[in-house]
Amino acid sequence: MQEPLERKKGLRRSILIVDDDYIAREILGKMLREQYEVSYAENGALALDIIRRDKLKLSLVILDLYMPEMDGYSLLKLLRADSELSRIPVIVLTSEQGAEVESLKNGAADFIAKPFDMPEVICARVSHSIELAEDSIIIHETERDELTGLFHKEFFFQYGKRLDELNSNMLMDAIVADINRFHVVNELYGRSYGNTVLKTIADSIHELVSSTGGLACRRDNDQFCIYLPHSDELRDKLPQYIAMIDERINDSNISLRFGVYSDDGSEKCMENRFDCAHHACQKLRGSYVSGFEFYNDEQHSRELYDERLINDMDKALSERQFKVFYQPKYSIQGDKPHLSSAEALIRWFHPEFGMVSPGQFISLFEDNGLIQKLDRFVWNEAAAQIKQWKEKYGIDLPVSVNVSRVDVFNSHLVEILEDITEINGLDNTKLLLEITESAYTDNSTQIIETVNTLRERGFKIEMDDFGSGYSSLNMLTSLPIDALKLDMKFIRGICENVKTERLVGIMIEIARLLEVPVIAEGVEKKEQMELLKKLGCDIIQGYYFSKPLPPEEFGALIEKEPEEKNYAYN
């Protein structure tokens, strides 16, 4: 569509004059012939034939309103409704007042009053209308993507923002549509097939925005943005709409993902709405079937928060924002409970968020491997603490540290732990290692091997969260462990629910069979403690005795203990 530009370089434009009045045709023709190629028609029907034939070269139609066969109004309407002919501007000839407004409403570019004005005025109107129309074609072409006919991103956002300004109370939904693995489609089937797919999608999107009064653009290669007046029914209608596009593409290897931001009136700007939609869309990355995801504000804040924690972790370590707390474990089977060990539990004192509990960041750091760094910090701290208590109180209090499932995959794990105990002059038996039960079920071969080596070197292993990881009973007999820590959720209901009590009894029996002690954590009440004691539980950890404490406060608990002590599992 380079035509309008070439025309500007001095080519003579063509004009069609349509009037049943011969004199009028002649007068106008005479005025314009010098500058333009002029052709004539006596009524609307003949004019339509010529326009269809010469549609590519016609620059303007001058149209009388009252004619036999087909009048000017009817022809004007036909031209405006035809996508190929609507680009040709029409100047209407009028002799009665009021007709001007009516014809402008019907899409006329301008009007010339009869009897005719001065030739200069008419020529100026003609040339102005042609120029305007040509400019608008150029704009139309630059603002639209050549392949799909949808807006380019820049124009899309410009128009969208203008729409928002003009209708500040209108809620607008934002949708981002992306083709799953489009590069593969291009590589496997070729670019032209890829283009056909893009065109099919764009056409469907075009239909959607035409029917709803929205806007759409092709953003990146295979991504589309759709901006629509808000609809509460979008969630219900989207599956049908997606199915329709799938059907049109008709290729099971090609699927689309849609991310939707449904406007709830929270006054986000257009760009933010699309950021949200894009974010939702990204969640479906990697899927093989068409689908959609709605943006969720809460979830997004959570993700931003997680992102912050991940970014801040290194700095936090170097600034010592992490502190290790210690929670005592008490042996309860004797006359009086006595301190047997402690569990090291990490706390993050974040300068902005305050105290962040491990529940918020452990699994996050497990996902990206950062946990290894953090755990190593905790192990070092715990070992140094054992040493310090030994020096200060003359006791060898064992401390358990949590060993994440991720740590187990580190082939240097044994070395790392041995270095730590060695540097602090500790016997390996003093650094107890808690490994969650599900780590065993996830990867039993690797973990059993690692744990066997650790035990050979004297480390003691506590299976954490026992009862939550679905170990098979058969597997349990071959697990190398030194203690079972019952999952907290069993303790919570133990006094209220007979079945839970029985279940805990059975788990304690299993520990007997394996010849290892049982630790119950999360014990908050005296009755729970007494019931567990009756059932044969050996060691108790929980708020009943103490919350996790900073090391200075933990010292007070040690001071309360009688002189002769039996630590760990004795």
Strands 338-350 and 399-402: parallel
Q: Which amino acid is at 165?
A: E
Q: Is 493 in the site for ligand C2E (CB under 6 A)?
A: no
Cβ 271 to Mg ion, closest distance in Å? 45
Q: Is 357 in the site for ligand C2E (CB under 6 A)?
A: yes
When binding is defined by CB under 6 A, the residue of 375, 462, 501, 538 that contacts ligand C2E is 375
Q: How many helical (H) and strand (E) elements, i.e. helices and strands, does the chain have?
A: 22, 20
- Asked if 144 and 150 touch (Cβ cutoff 8 Å), the reply is yes
When binding is defined by CB under 6 A, the residue of 404, 421, 424, 450 that contacts ligand C2E is 404
When binding is defined by CB under 6 A, the residue of 78, 362, 395, 495 that contacts ligand C2E is 362
Cα gap 309→351, rounded to integer Å: 12
Cα gap 93→27, rounded to integer Å: 13
**Partner from Mg ion, ligand C2E, none contacting 362, C-beta within 5 to 8 A by type:** ligand C2E
**Partner from ligand C2E, Mg ion, none contacting 482, C-beta within 5 to 8 A by type:** none
Instruction: Provide DSSP, 271-301.
Output: HHHHHHHHHHHHTTTT-SS-EEEE--HHHHH
Over the window 506 to 545, marking each residue x when it contacts ligand C2E by CB under 6 A and - when it does not, the resulting string is ---------------xxxx----------------xxx--
Cα gap 421→387, rounded to integer Å: 9
Closer by beta carbon to ligand C2E, 185 or else 345: 345
Closer by beta carbon to Mg ion, 295 or else 569: 569
Cβ 423 to ligand C2E, closest distance in Å? 19
Alpha helices in 95-170 (DSSP H): 99-105, 119-143, 153-166
Cα gap 417→379, rounded to integer Å: 8
When binding is defined by CB under 6 A, the residue of 291, 358, 469, 555 that contacts ligand C2E is 358
Q: Is 546 in the site for ligand C2E (CB under 6 A)?
A: no
- Asked if 466 and 437 touch (Cβ cutoff 8 Å), the reply is yes
Closer by beta carbon to Mg ion, 375 or else 465: 465
Closer by beta carbon to ligand C2E, 106 or else 360: 360
Closer by beta carbon to Mg ion, 305 or else 377: 377
Q: Is 345 in the site for ligand C2E (CB under 6 A)?
A: yes
Name the residue with tokens 């004019």: 47
Closer by beta carbon to ligand C2E, 134 or else 464: 464
- Asked if 208 and 216 touch (Cβ cutoff 8 Å), the reply is yes
When binding is defined by CB under 6 A, the residue of 346, 399, 514, 529 that contacts ligand C2E is 346
Q: Which amino acid is at 565?
A: K
Cα gap 217→155, rounded to integer Å: 8
Q: Is 19 in the site for ligand C2E (CB under 6 A)?
A: no
Q: Is 548 in the site for ligand C2E (CB under 6 A)?
A: yes
Instruction: Provide DSSP, 292-342.
Output: EEE--HHHHHHHHHHHHHHHHHHHHHHTT-EEEEEEEEEE-SSSS-EEEEE
**Partner from Mg ion, ligand C2E, none contacting 375, C-beta within 5 to 8 A by type:** ligand C2E
Interface with Mg ion (CB under 5 A): 402, 434, 464-465
Cβ 260 to ligand C2E, closest distance in Å? 35
**10 Å Cβ neighbour count for 436?**
21
Cβ 357 to ligand C2E, closest distance in Å? 5
Binding positions for ligand C2E, rule: CB under 6 A: 327, 345-346, 357-359, 362, 371, 375, 378, 402, 404, 434, 464-465, 488, 521-524, 541-543, 548
